[in-house]
Structures are given as C-alpha cells and as structure tokens.
C-alpha cells in the first residue's frame, strides 16, 4: 500500500491538494459533506492532469486513487498526512481537530490550509497539539510550489522535518516560519496590494482591468522570477541594494499609499468592482479561466526551469528526485539489458507543446527526440563535464515521421536503438510511443566535434568505447522498418 493523504474539506484548495498528492502517486481519501464535492474535485483533477504532468521533463509516478468517505474516521485511517481545508472559521476548525485527535494516527502530520489563523490557535486544547502545523498553499495548489509551513514550540523537530520532507517530495517549497504571525508572510503582502487596489478603484484612478494590467505587464513578471529584494537589488545598479535604499528610501515617507487605511466597502464600491470585473473577464467561465491560468503558469514555470532559476529550479530538483522511479538512467552501467533499445525519455506532453489543432506541434517532436539524444550522449559519458572540457556531438541530419497524435498530459516514452557508433559517427533511431501506440520515429546522424576548432574529430577513447559497446549490443536487433526511409516513402 502506498502513502495515504486525507483531505478534510474538498473546496478549491482541498481539491488542489488532492490533485497535488494523487498525481505524485499518493492514495487520497476525501471527506467533505458537500454532495457536490466529488464533481468539484473531479473537475479540478481534470485540469491538473492536463497541466501538472507536463510541468517537468520527467514522467510523474503512477497516479494514486482518489476516494470519498462519509466520515472523518474513515478518511484518516492509516493516513500519513492530513490536510484540513475547511472554511475560515476558528470554531469549525477546532471542532474538526477535536474529531481528528480521536481517529488520526499519532505519527501523521496534520496540516491546515488556513490563510490567517496561527498554529497556536489551532492547537489550543488538543490532546496532541504537536501534530498540527499550518501548511498554507497558494491556488492552484497543484501548480504553485510555495507552501507556508508555520510551527510552534509544540511541534517536535522530527515532525517538522517530516512535514518538510513530504512537501518537498510533492515538488513544493516549504517556507518555514518559526515564529507565528497573523496571515503568515505572503498574504500580508497580498493584503497590502489589495488595500491599495481598492482605493484606486474607489477614487476612480484605475479600473480593475487597468490595475491587473499594471501587475501582469510590469512588476508581476519581475516578481515571478526574482521576488522583491532581488528585483530592487538589480534596480540599484552596480552599487546594489545600498544605493537603491539611499535613492528611493525617502519616498517611503511620502504620502503615496493608503496602506494604513481601508475604504468602506459600500454598495457603490462593490458594484463598481463587480461590474468592472465582469466586463474584464465575464466572457470566460471560471473553468475556462482556470485552464487559461494553468497554461500560462506552466509556460512561465517551464521558462524559469530552462534557466534553472526561481520556481523553475525547484521543478528541476523535483524532476531529479522522481527520475529514478521513471526508469530513466544516466549511465550505461545502470542499464539492466544492453541488448534492448534504451529508454531515453519518459515525460508528459506539456500544454505549451500544443498547436492550433490541439495536439503536439511538429517542432516539439524534434525537441523530444533531441532530449532523447542528449540522454544517450550522457549515458556514454558525453555529459556536462565532457562538453565543458570542449568536446561534444553535433547533429548533422534528422528525419522525423509523424505517425499518430499526442495530446496534453499524455505520457510519451522514447526508446533508442544505436544503429552506428564508431569513430566520429553516431547514428540513432528513436521510437516515440504513447499508451503503446507508435506516435513518431526519429532517425538522427551526429558527428563528434571539437568545440574549440568546431571541426569533427574522434571522441575520447572512453566515450567511443561506451558507444561501440552499445552499438554492438544493438546490432542483433532487427533493423527498424523505417530506417533510411526518405520523405514521402510509403509506410
């Protein structure tokens, strides 16, 4: 039996937690008295299946089951993690924790999604207060990695470490607050921006759409990859943060903001905000907006991943953690059977790889096959260190056949047969499959190159020997049916 997560409360946040756990291979049990909970979580799961698997470059573990239970006792039986996401009412949360204490295993971590309450308020009067921590995520939980982990002295160090380990294993970043404070850290920033935005609408300075544009076209993009302080450090130029503070610090005393005051939420102000919001986004349903949001987030996070920066660096680290379970290896010595085509890629199709026909666009087949070639190069010792030392392989010729469609979220496997590997030459034949279907083939011819002279030359003896060994092992395999085929030849 795999790891078990119990979700208490299946709204937007609880559903996001269910998706994050299930798509990372956990069994998920849900308790929510809402008769629509199964439908709502099912819709969240559908969105998550499209976006989360394609966030990284390694296939996620096999999806865990999601079951629904009539009682808290049934849901938490044998659970390793319990996530409470009930409405923000302290009396309701304390009632839930009282029942949890009677049924939850003593070794389990109980996390609360609360955006405002302190853990000490949740722990008050409990038989085992050390089990309860705040684990406050951000929507959509299945994509955004930040989770604020807030603890108190009641939480044993071993349980805090266990909480960090589990959250990190889900591809998340636990920001550990050792001192509790109302609304934690991130929501205090959001509250400040929200107050200022309400005044700007109230005073007729800007509409809801104009305010959103100021964020998404400007500083929001900087914040997404550098945060606040690093952004301002860069703004200080070569003199750095000290210069920035010296130059812009005095502005803090100017009456630019109304952060210490809140406008009255009169009927007129609420109507103005609601009407502007409807005009801004009303053409799309909530589910459509969620899918648009998810596609945009995947694109941004994958761009950051390519630079190994910010949240993208977290995703790359998560790929590295789950890669062994996918069957991929990094060196020939790890292969159990050299005589068979090697698994050179196993990944899901990202949303950003789709074209206007709703399937994987042709350029992404080349990208997938190129990544598979890189994996083979890595296996024979042509790795990052080898390339940094001034030697590599260059692709000289490629032929790709597009045989079937591949859709977003679908897991594709690429297996590679070494056709030729001696001297300066490497010739590979890739087969891409999805669900057992042959989706595409790629034949690639490469030459070994000295990166200083930019001319072809033999690889080092160690790399050549590894490639020859793999080529000789594959020589006994039948030649691929499409090997050497030209464009337009009959299938």
Known binding-site residue numbers for NAD(+): 9-14
Three-class SS state of 255: coil
* Closest residue by Cα to residue 332 from 343, 320, 321, 322: 343
Helices (H), 34-142: 37-51, 72-76, 90-103, 119-123
* Closest residue by Cα to residue 425 from 470, 400, 394: 394
Separation between Cα atoms, residue 1 and residue 201, nearest integer Å:
54
30 CB neighbour count, 10 Å cutoff: 22
Counting DSSP H helices and E strands in the chain, the numbers are: 17, 14
- Cβ atoms of 469 and 409 within 8 Å: the answer is no
Residue found under tokens 């000295």: 450
Question: Would you give the end-to-end CA distance of the chain in angstroms?
Answer: 45
Helices (H), 84-127: 90-103, 119-123
* Closest residue by Cα to residue 406 from 437, 370, 374, 371: 437
Separation between Cα atoms, residue 66 and residue 490, nearest integer Å:
46
Binding residues: 9-14
């Amino acid at each position: 039996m795999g790891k078990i997560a119990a979700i208490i409360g299946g709204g937007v946040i609880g559903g996001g937690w269910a998706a994050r756990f299930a798509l990372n291979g956990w069994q998920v049990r849900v308790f929510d008295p809402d008769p629509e909970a199964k439908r709502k979580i099912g819709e969240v799961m559908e969105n998550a299946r499209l976006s989360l698997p394609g966030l990284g470059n390694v296939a996620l573990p096999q999806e865990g089951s999601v079951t629904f239970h009539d009682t808290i006792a049934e849901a938490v039986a044998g659970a390793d993690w319990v996530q409470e996401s009930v409405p923000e009412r302290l009396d309701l949360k304390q009632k839930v924790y009282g029942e949890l204490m009677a049924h939850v295993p003593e070794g389990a971590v109980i996390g609360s999604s609360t955006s405002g309450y302190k853990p000490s308020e949740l722990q008050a009067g409990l038989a085992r207060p050390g089990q309860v921590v705040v684990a406050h995520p951000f929507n959509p939980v299945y994509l955004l990695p930040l989770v604020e982990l807030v603890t108190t002295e009641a939480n044993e160090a071993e349980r805090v470490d266990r909480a960090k380990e589990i959250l990190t294993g889900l591809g998340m970043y636990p920001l550990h607050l050792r001192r509790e404070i109302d609304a934690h850290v991130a929501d205090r920033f959001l509250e400040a921006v929200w107050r200022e935005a309400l005044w700007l609408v109230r005073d007729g300075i800007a509409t809801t759409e104009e305010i959103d544009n100021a964020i998404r076209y400007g500083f929001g993009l900087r914040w997404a990859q550098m945060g606040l302080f690093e952004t301002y450090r860069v703004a200080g130029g070569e003199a750095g943060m000290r210069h920035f503070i010296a130059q812009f610090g005095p502005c803090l005393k100017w009456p630019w903001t109304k952060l210490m005051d809140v406008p009255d939420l009169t009927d007129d102000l609420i109507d103005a905000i609601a009407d502007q919001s409807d005009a801004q986004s009303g053409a799309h349903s909530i589910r459509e907006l969620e899918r648009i949001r998810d596609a945009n987030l995947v694109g941004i996070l994958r761009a950051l991943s390519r630079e190994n920066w910010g949240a993208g660096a977290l995703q790359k680290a998560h790929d590295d953690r789950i890669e062994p379970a996918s069957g991929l290896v990094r060196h020939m010595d790890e292969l159990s059977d050299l005589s068979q085509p090697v698994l050179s890629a196993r990944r899901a199709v990202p949303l950003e790889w789709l074209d206007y026909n709703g399937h994987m666009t042709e350029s992404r087949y080349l990208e997938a096959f190129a990544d598979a070639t890189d994996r083979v190069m890595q296996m024979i010792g042509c790795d990052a260190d080898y390339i940094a030392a001034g030697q590599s392989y260059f692709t000289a010729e490629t032929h790709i056949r597009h045989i079937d469609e591949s859709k977003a979220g679908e897991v594709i496997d690429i297996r590679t047969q070494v056709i030729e590997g001696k001297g300066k030459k490497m010739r590979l034949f890739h087969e891409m499959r999805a669900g057992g279907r042959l989706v595409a083939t790629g034949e690639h011819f490469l030459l070994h190159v000295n990166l200083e002279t930019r001319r072809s030359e033999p690889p080092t003896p160690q790399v050549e020997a590894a490639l020859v060994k793999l080529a000789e092992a594959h020589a006994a395999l039948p030649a691929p049916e499409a090997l050497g085929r030209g464009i337009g030849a009959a299938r």
